[in-house]
Amino acid sequence: MRKLQLISVVAGLLLVTSFGRIRAQDEMFKALFMYNFTKDVEWPADYKQGNFVIAVLGTSPIVAELEKIAQSKKVGNQPIQILKATDPAAIGKCHLLYVTPGKSAQLAQVTSVFAKKPVLIVTDKAGGAKEGACINFVKVDGKQKFEISPSTIASQGLKVTSFLTSLGITVQ
Amino acid sequence: MIRNTFTKFLTRSVLAGLLVALPALLVAQQPATDISKMTREEVLAIPYEKLIELPLDQLLQLADIMGVSLDELYEMILNKNIEAASKKSETSFDSPLSSTVLSGDEIRRSGATSIPEALRLVPGIIVREKTPGNYDVHIRGNDNVPPNHMFLYSENSISLIMIDNMPVYNTGHGGTFWEVFPIDVNDIERVEVIRGPSSALYGPNAASGAINIVTIKPDNNKIKADVDAQGGIPGTALVNGGLSFGAGSKFRARISGNYQYRQRWDERFYLWTADSTYPSGYYHLNDSIFDTPGPTTNKYGEPIADTIKHPELGLQKYGVNAFFFLDVAPKVNFSLMLSHQGSYTLSTIVGDKETSLTQRLSNSSYANFRANTYGFTTQLSYNIGSHDVQTTSDGLKHDIADFYGSVEYQYQLGNLIVRPGVAYQRSVYDDSPYAGNAEGMEVLFNKPVTIENIAASVRLEYTLFEKLRLIGALRQDWFQQPEKSKTSFQAIGAYKINDRNMVRAVYSRAYRGPFMADTYTDYKYDKSPYTQVRFTGSQNVDLLKIDMAEIGYRIKPSKTIQAEIEAFYITGEGYGYYALDSVSWLLAGVRVIPLHVKLSYTNLDLKSEQFGATFNLKWVAKQNLVVSLNQTVQYTRLSNYYPYTPTETIENLWINDRQPGIIPNTFTARPEQIDTLYQNIDHKATPAWYGGLTVDYRPIEKLSVVAGAYYYGAQTFVNMNGTDEIGSKVLVNLKVSYHVWKHGSVYVNARNLLNDNRNEYGFTDPIGGLYMLGATLSF
């Protein structure tokens, strides 16, 4: 609860334009984190062909950051494709789904639509990892961290390395 | 000729700078990167191409460094870093001097339409608008000394303003022409202000303080563009634009441009007259007084109204800039600024009597090179151009060339920091190209004239028990014209009681440098058909000395509040002005006419004393509300004040000399014949109180409201032409911005919202409300 308050207070200090810069940096780091998550998560063989689709549910500056990565990087041999979506049901096949804070209220629908599908669900919501997200971004004392739920990842039919698990805050 | 000489000089200086910089550059080696020890700035400097290659564990470490806790966020708002006070980065709370940092974001959010207006946000600075966009700016005040003389002496000649440490100072007459700054508000990263004598750190003219405007350095090599445009009534258009880019991890650049056009609220001009038909006051140029021979005609008998082509215009200016940055290694970097500006402003006259305002035309180009190489800081600045300081009179146009060069080295031995340095300044002004036309026009110098000095300095700082800082700064300047050697210093003790309380005491001394007009003038002013006035400069006068004793106390009563009070006692002596040297008379019937008046630049016994205190407070009141408040109170007293204007002196000489029956047809009198009565007076040119309140509020994420009030008490402006009692004024300002989309916002900006249209400065324009609409785009 205290953490939640802290995030809310920090988010409220929008007066400071430097905070805008901080937030832009946050989005850059989150995008880089997500790109790195793909190195330590294994998708089933039939997901290792074609484009590697990163879907973003909702609008967020992170889309631009992900598109920047997609211009120069691949996941394995798969080109990265960024898919912008507003409705979970309309997303279709994807590898990683990022639920923006503005759409986090739809997390239950997301987990329902993508239940047991090999999709790494990433959220940016207090308590997201306990509500069905595989990985959830959190701020701890202002520092960008992530929670990780190995059991949820496994239930999605994905494999995660112990290296990635060790870097996150494990949530069961 | 001057330019050739200076080109050679500049070439030599650049070579000298490179000699200092290159050895360090050659030995520069890329140190092994230890991510855990990196600073935020170092992380920000990592190019994206490298970031994207880093493994997740290292990215997490970098995110930790970049992350900002709530406490850190409060610190970023309340306690910004400053470099000007100690020539190294430290928090504002730790600064040993009275100082303030204003971020570029704060300035732009506030709606300040120009750099001098933005200084109204700084505690202890009195800012009054003379004509639209043209400001008088004084640090703490102590202004218009000596009074009852030329308007020139009201200009602030005792503060040093710098752009990226490059002085922008008018060595011709003394003071700062703000309109010749090639940069504008969108170029500002931050403004650092030191209140109090700072010549020991920055050289001559930093006598009441120093202001360094630090320009934006791009964070990365991405292409970014920004444009801000606003316009409104009275006819005002303000445009700022910038484009930044880079190459690889080491090179970054930014180009920018700006334009200002400001019409006046009132097209009238103030006239001093002694005419019952036309009493002193404001007149339109088409009023009949301007067709009447006398004070409104120039020496050729032409109405000065004819020389003012745009009576509706207060300011028009443009500036273009290119900034280049090369970061070779963590401790080796170079920057170069190349700028040009052209400007027209309606400002106060130098010394004439016909109107209070004149046109000033300037164009100037700047080059500013700075190198940081393993503790060495090398700065080379060069500025050329021309100033026509008073287009309504002949003889005040000149070409300028200013060179500033300095090398300083900072090293630390345990708790001792030592910073020795050397500096050189040479200014050459030449008005001979504008002399000797067919009409016999005369100019001030009629030849290239030089002001030059070399200096050596050292700053020592010793920290005891991690709480007590003892600082001594010493600078010796050897001026060539006049040949004077002056020692400036600062002695500081700063004791940090704990993280929330700090006390400090300062004793410092600074000098104002010499000016061409005081030193070299040989000028015949013959506006009257009968009287010829000759101004003669002197190379044998002393320089103005400012001493200050100051105590300060800073407190952070909670993590959301930072406050400070500083109390100061400042004295000034060594003032000078053009004093009456001699006068010869002609007896024409019953009238006595002064035929030849000689004025020579002379030191005065005048001494100024100023007592005062400044309080400021910043409070993060709520998550989306920041309140800033500052208040200065001050009292200025002049002793050994000579109360007569030059004209009154002449009249007194006549009265004292008159002995009926023995008046010759011509005779000569000298001022020592007067029974002078030197006085001690209260000097009220600076308001007894002034300050500001700013409320920065963001009710929703996309909406920003910044409301402020800048206020000052009554003041009495006196010069040789008259006295202007100026009432107190509260300027209410408001900027409301709405972030329409991710790349842009629209806003309304009102300055002096309540349209209090009284003049803010002696005999200058009524200043009313400015109401504008604007938009900002950034990509």
* Mutation target among B35, B622, B623, B700 for the A interface, most CBs of A within 10 A: B623
* Mutation target among A8, A16, A17, A162 for the B interface, most CBs of B within 10 A: A16
- Cα B259 versus chain centre, distance: 20
Choose the closest CB to B64 out of A19, A25, A143: A143
Please give the pLDDT value at position B687. 96
Q: In sequence order, which residues have a C-beta less than 8 Å from that of residue B671 and are 6 or more positions away?
A: B579, B580, B581, B582, B649, B653
Dihedral in degrees, nearest 10, Cα atoms B24, B29, B33, B39: 10
Alpha helix segments (H runs only) across B521-601 = none
Say whether pLDDT at B530 is over 80: no
Instruction: Determine contact, residues B117/B132, Cβ cutoff 8 Å.
Output: no
Search chain B and give the residue with CA nearest A69.
Answer: B52
Choose the closest CB to A36 out of B56, B701, B742: B56
Mean pLDDT of B245-258: 93
Q: What share of chain B is helix, strand, coil (3-state, %, to 5)?
A: 15, 50, 35
Q: In sequence order, which residues have a C-beta less than 8 Å from that of residue B726 and are 6 or more positions away?
A: B714, B715, B716, B717, B758, B759, B760, B761, B762
Mean pLDDT of B491-506: 96
Say whether pLDDT at B542 is over 90: yes
Choose the closest CB to A13 out of B51, B59, B624: B624
- Count the helices and strands in chain A (H runs, E runs): 6, 10
pLDDT-derived band of residue B676, with 50, 70 and 90 as boundaries?
low
Work out the percent of chain A whose per-residue pLDDT is above 70. Answer: 87
Q: What are the 10-residue block averages of pLDDT along chain A, 172 residues in total?
A: 38 46 78 95 93 94 92 93 94 95 93 94 93 92 88 95 93 84
Q: How many angstroms separate the CA atoms of B180 and B161, rounded?
A: 12
Q: How many angstroms separate the CA atoms of B477 and B481, rounded?
A: 12
- Count the helices and strands in chain B (H runs, E runs): 10, 42
Search chain A and give the residue with CA nearest B622.
Answer: A13
Residue contact A68–B48, C-beta within 8 A = yes
Residues of A with CB under 8 A from a CB of B: 6, 9-10, 12-19, 22, 25, 28-29, 32-33, 35-37, 39-40, 61, 68-69, 72-73, 139, 141-145, 164, 167
Please give the structure tokens belonging to residue B657.
């000399």
Choose the closest CB to A167 out of B52, B57, B62: B57
Cβ contacts of A35 on chain B, cutoff 8 Å: 52
pLDDT-derived band of residue B21, with 50, 70 and 90 as boundaries?
very low
Search chain A and give the residue with CA nearest B67.
Answer: A143
If one compares B526 and B637, the residue with the highest pLDDT of the two is B637
| One-letter amino acid of B647 | T
Please give the pLDDT value at position A89. 92
* Mutation target among B41, B50, B52 for the A interface, most CBs of A within 10 A: B52
DSSP per residue over B682-700, as a string?
EE-SS-SEEEEEEEEEEEE
Search chain B and give the residue with CA nearest A8.
Answer: B623
Cβ contacts of A142 on chain B, cutoff 8 Å: 67-70, 72-73
Q: What is the DSSP letter of B173?
A: T
The closest of B756, B715, B701 to B733, measured between CA atoms, is B756
Average pLDDT value over all residues in chain B: 88
Choose the closest CB to B55 out of A13, A36, A72: A36
Choose the closest CB to A12 out of B56, B64, B623: B623
pLDDT-derived band of residue B670, with 50, 70 and 90 as boundaries?
low
Q: What are phi and psi of B222, to 5 degrees?
A: -70, 150
Please give the pLDDT value at position B69. 65
- Is residue A111 classed exposed, middle or buried when 0-12, 13-18 and 19+ CB atoms within 10 A define those classes? buried
Mean pLDDT of B72-78: 78
Residue contact B56–A39, C-beta within 8 A = yes
Choose the closest CB to A17 out of B62, B72, B105: B105
Residue contact B52–A16, C-beta within 8 A = no
Q: What is the pLDDT of residues B575-592, one digit of tens each?
A: 999 988 888 877 766 667
Q: What are phi and psi of B761, to 5 degrees?
A: -135, 160
Please give the pLDDT value at position B68. 66
Please give the pLDDT value at position B274. 66
Residue contact B73–A142, C-beta within 8 A = yes
Cβ contacts of B57 on chain A, cutoff 8 Å: 167
Residue contact B67–A141, C-beta within 8 A = yes
Search chain B and give the residue with CA nearest A29.
Answer: B63
Search chain B and give the residue with CA nearest A166.
Answer: B57
Q: What is the pLDDT of residues B138-193, one digit of tens each?
A: 999 989 999 988 888 999 999 999 999 999 999 999 999 999 999 999 999 999 99
Search chain A and give the residue with CA nearest B624.
Answer: A13
pLDDT-derived band of residue B378, with 50, 70 and 90 as boundaries?
very high
Choose the closest CB to B68 out of A61, A142, A167: A142
CA distance B104 to chain A (A): 10
Q: How many angstroms separate the CA atoms of B697 and B734, rounded?
A: 11
Please give the structure tokens belonging to residue B94.
């730790």
Please give the structure tokens belonging to residue B573.
């002596």
Angle at which helices A17-37 and A62-72 pack, to 10 degrees? 40
Say whether pLDDT at B17 is over 90: no
CA distance B623 to chain A (A): 5
The closest of B741, B676, B672, B748 to B706, measured between CA atoms, is B748
pLDDT-derived band of residue B298, with 50, 70 and 90 as boundaries?
low
Residue contact B56–A14, C-beta within 8 A = no
Radius of gyration for the alpha carbons in chain B, expressed in angstroms and rounded? 27
Choose the closest CB to A6 out of B70, B109, B704: B70
Cβ contacts of A71 on chain B, cutoff 8 Å: none
Choose the closest CB to B56 out of A6, A9, A33: A33
Residue contact B624–A61, C-beta within 8 A = no
Distances (CA, A) of B34 to A166, B27, B37, B43: 21, 20, 6, 11
Checking DSSP bridges between strand B411-413 and strand B448-464, what pairing results, if any?
unpaired
Instruction: Determine contact, residues B140/B610, Cβ cutoff 8 Å.
Output: yes
Q: What share of chain A is helix, strand, coil (3-state, %, to 5)?
A: 45, 25, 30
Three-state secondary structure along B186-245? HHEEEEEEEECCCHHHHCCCCCCEEEEEEECCCCCCCCEEEEEEEEEECCEEEEEEEEEE
The listed range with the strongest mean pLDDT (B279-293, B431-445, B462-476) is B462-476
Distances (CA, A) of B31 to B28, B328, B716: 9, 12, 61
Residue contact A10–B70, C-beta within 8 A = yes
Radius of gyration for the alpha carbons in chain A, expressed in angstroms and rounded? 15
Search chain A and give the residue with CA nearest B737.
Answer: A15
Residue contact A37–B56, C-beta within 8 A = yes
Length of chain B: 779
Q: How many CB atoms lie within 10 A of CB B62?
A: 23
Cβ contacts of B696 on chain A, cutoff 8 Å: 15
Q: How many CB atoms lie within 10 A of CB A170?
A: 12
In this prediction, does ipTM exceed 0.85?
yes
Search chain A and give the residue with CA nearest B78.
Answer: A16
